[in-house]
Amino acid sequence: MLDKRTIFEIHRLKNQEWSQRRIAQELRVGRITVKKYLENPEQAFPQKAPRPSKLDPYQDIIDQFLEQDPQVYATVLLQRLQDAGFDGKISILRDYLQEKRGQSKNRKAFVRFESAPGHQCQIDWGHFGSIAYGNTKRRLYCMAVIESHSRLLYLEFTHSQRQETLHRCLLNAFRFFGGTPRELVSDNMLTAVIERDGSLIRYNESFLEFLRPFAIVPYACNVRSPHEKGKVEKGAIHYIRYNFFPLRSFDDLKDLQHQADQWRDHVANIRLHSTTGERPIDRFKSQAMRSLPPFLPDCRDTASAKVYPDFSVRFDANSYTVPPWAIGRLVIVKADTQTLAVYLKNKVIATHVRSYKRKVRIELPAHHEAARKQQRRFWQSQYVGAFISLGEEAKVYLERLASIHQPIKKNLKKLLALKEEYGSYGLIEAIKKATLHNAYGAHYIENILYQEMTPKTNHPPVRLKDENLNNICLEKPALAEYDTLVVKRRKNHDRLTAPQGKTNKSKAQDNGTGP
């Protein structure tokens, strides 16, 4: 089959009265070919007979399966065909399905729309793998917010998609834009839409409460309709994934966000946009955005926590220290992407750099030093002195209580009360048995005493009007010292009352001169 250029040359040379033989020699083709194209220049390519395929005997079966489920996977069809005797590979089956579905695919036309300046913003989440912090890996997400008219982009990387995180990202985006839009378009994320039935939408109440002060109306796209927020779907998430993220290294979330801000300001928002033909930063109209309200909501991650005996609170799988005087209190922990603050009665008592590792204790030197001072003061208190005076067993038991972070003051008060009720001997015996079984705590001692002894007295101590006198706790006196004093005074008394001769004789015996 000759190409059109050669056919044209055959006719041009014939018009110059060349013979067919000369034309064939000049163009190096056969004379019969020259004659054929002179008689009929429009020669069609011969149709080749289609090659037989292993799928030919099974096309009717495939068509039946496609009628039942037009979106059935090729792997599922291959299993059914193999049961029917097909011995081919999955590649020819996929080619057939692609050709079959391409013929019946109903391609829809979408009408483009442009928003007025400051009227609409579109938001979406994107997943970008994870970041390693030591032995811990944290998932990495990106919230993209785009102003629909100018395509001005804001992006923020996070380690969660929680409600507070969404609100915090949006608030940071509004600060970046210098105002708020009238509408906010999103997909059906759970932090925005709780339930949907067609056009009936039940929005997340926390999401609505966040948008209320800004007077923003939310709009949720229809299910499986990414074109309804195409500006952020394709123009933001896809652009970030394939323009910013490749060939990039970073140490942590803070480093990544710093690089993202640099890329946003020096690449994304100053590029010539392919759709608008303008730079987003030039097309953006800041005066069209609504002003931010005077009082902005607190969008930090918030949780209530108890201060444990090791003067720390638990948050996001880590421990953060607070002043030791707050032990046992219920506090509020608030954290953003970089910092964490602990509040007691709306007052900040501790501030830390947030850690994304797990099972880590973040301790401030000031808190550690305060705990040491408090511990020294405690060991010098009257309660400790009164308990230690019971003997070595009591001292060892108290040290063990402190080592396992038991509430020492509470246990001491209970143990001293048990001493008054059961006596010192009974308390020491109970302490020995509890130590033998590694049972440390006043409740263990109380249980042992209750099971094995009866209280020595049930009379409560006399209460004085002055509470300071009631709180005086005296150490138990050492009776051996009193015994020594009594013996010494008795000897002196005997010497004074004995006869003079006997006394001299006794002195002589004491000096070793007597018989």
Q: Residue ranges of the domains in the chain?
A: 4-39, 56-100, 120-288, 301-372, 383-470, 480-511
Two tokens, residue 66? 């496609």
Does pLDDT of 81 surpass 60?
yes
**More confident: 509 or 425:** 425
CATH 3.30.420.10 fits 120-288, yes or no: yes
Kindly report, residue by residue over 406-449, the tens digit of the pLDDT.
777 788 888 888 888 888 888 898 999 998 888 888 889 888 88
pLDDT at 515: 45
pLDDT at 513: 46
Please report which residue ranges of 201-350 form alpha helices under DSSP H: 205-211, 230-232, 238-239, 253-266, 280-283
Two tokens, residue 434? 């509890």
Percent of the chain at pLDDT exceeding 90: 45
Contacts of 485 (CB under 8 A, 6+ apart): none
Does pLDDT of 130 surpass 90?
yes
> Band of the pLDDT at 452, cuts 50, 70, 90?
confident
pLDDT at 512: 47
CB-neighbour burial class of residue 326 (10 A; exposed 0-12, middle 13-18, buried 19+)? buried
Does pLDDT of 213 surpass 70?
yes
Is the CA virtual torsion 406, 407, 412, 415 positive or negative? negative
Does pLDDT of 123 surpass 90?
yes
3: nearest Cα among 37, 48, 39:
37
The rounded radius of gyration (Å) of the Cα atoms in the chain is 45
Residues in the chain: 515
pLDDT at 146: 97
Q: Which residues of 349-388 are buried (b: 16+ CB within 10 A; e: fewer)?
A: bbebebbbeeeeebbeeebeebbeeeeeeeeeeebbebbb
Lowest-pLDDT choice from 137-151, 344-358, 422-436? 422-436
Kindly report, residue by residue over 280-331, the tens digit of the pLDDT.
999 999 999 999 999 999 999 999 999 998 899 999 999 999 999 998 899 9
**More confident: 489 or 38:** 38
Two tokens, residue 311? 């003067």
Residue range 240-263: average pLDDT?
94
* Whether this model's pTM surpasses 0.85: no
Q: Average pLDDT of the chain? A: 86
Percent of the chain at pLDDT exceeding 70: 90
> What letter represents residue 505's amino acid?
K
CA distances from 199 to 101, 173, 195 (A): 30, 28, 11
Kindly report, residue by residue over 483-500, the tens digit of the pLDDT.
777 777 777 777 777 665
pLDDT at 239: 93
> Band of the pLDDT at 501, cuts 50, 70, 90?
low
**More confident: 59 or 296:** 296
pLDDT at 475: 64
Q: How many CA atoms within 13 Å lie on the side-chain side of 406? A: 21
pLDDT at 51: 77
pLDDT at 48: 61
Residue range 237-260: average pLDDT?
94
Does pLDDT of 47 surpass 70?
no
300: nearest Cα among 362, 348, 367, 358:
348
Q: Which residues of 486-505 are buried (b: 16+ CB within 10 A; e: fewer)?
A: eeeeeeeeeeeeeeeeeeee
Kindly report, residue by residue over 102-117, the tens digit of the pLDDT.
655 555 666 777 899 9
Question: How far, in Å, CA of 464 to CA of 194, rounded?
Answer: 64
Kindly report, residue by residue over 380-410, the tens digit of the pLDDT.
777 788 888 888 888 888 888 877 767 777 8
pLDDT at 456: 57
Query: Which own/partner contact pairs does 301-304 have at CB distance under 8 Å and 24+ positions apart?
Result: 301/162, 301/164, 301/165, 301/334, 301/335, 301/336, 302/164, 302/332, 302/333, 302/334, 303/332, 303/333, 304/330, 304/331, 304/332, 304/333
pLDDT at 212: 94
